[in-house]
Amino acid sequence: MTAPSLPQQPSKRVMFLRAIRRRCPICGGGSLFTGWFRMKDHCPHCGIRMRRGEDGYTLGALWFNLLLAETITMAVFVGTLVRTWPSPPWDVLQVLGPAEAILMPLLIWPFARTLFLAFDLSFRPLGPQDLG
């Protein structure tokens, strides 16, 4: 019996474009999630492991999640200030800013998971341990 062969790893650009669409960075296959917050253990198309066997792997995805969510929140805040200057809607910003800071990480989570996987794959290419 022969071991399954590793899929060919695409370019970094392709991996990140696939990850932004919540697809497998390696094969581009979808259906990686069983719900909004729960990712499957393996890609249903190419079979690579989604966690890659490292302690703290979810912590890296959490870091990506926080980075993306807070960057978007600050961009919206600063963009609103710039567009409405000299009289920004301070009352609206005081209510919606914290609400956005709380909701954005929840909305970004699946994208952060696939983007972190693409990020990890760009520094640590696929190996035999990533299958099965």
Q: For each of the chain's 132 residues, which pLDDT tens digit applies? A: 455 688 899 999 999 999 999 999 999 999 999 999 999 999 999 999 998 877 778 888 999 999 999 999 999 999 999 999 999 999 999 999 999 989 999 999 999 999 999 999 999 999 888 886
Give the range of the structural domain holding residue 18, as residue numbers without chain letter. Answer: 12-130
Per-residue model confidence (pLDDT) at position 2: 54
Instruction: Indicate the number of domains in the chain.
Output: 1
**Is 1 among the domain residues?**
no
Flag whether 5 is in a domain. Answer: no
| pLDDT computed for residue 41 by the predictor | 92
> Which of 3-7's residues contact partners 24+ apart within 8 Å by CB, and which partners?
3/128, 3/131, 4/47, 4/131, 4/132, 6/126, 6/127, 6/128, 6/130, 6/131, 7/46, 7/48, 7/126
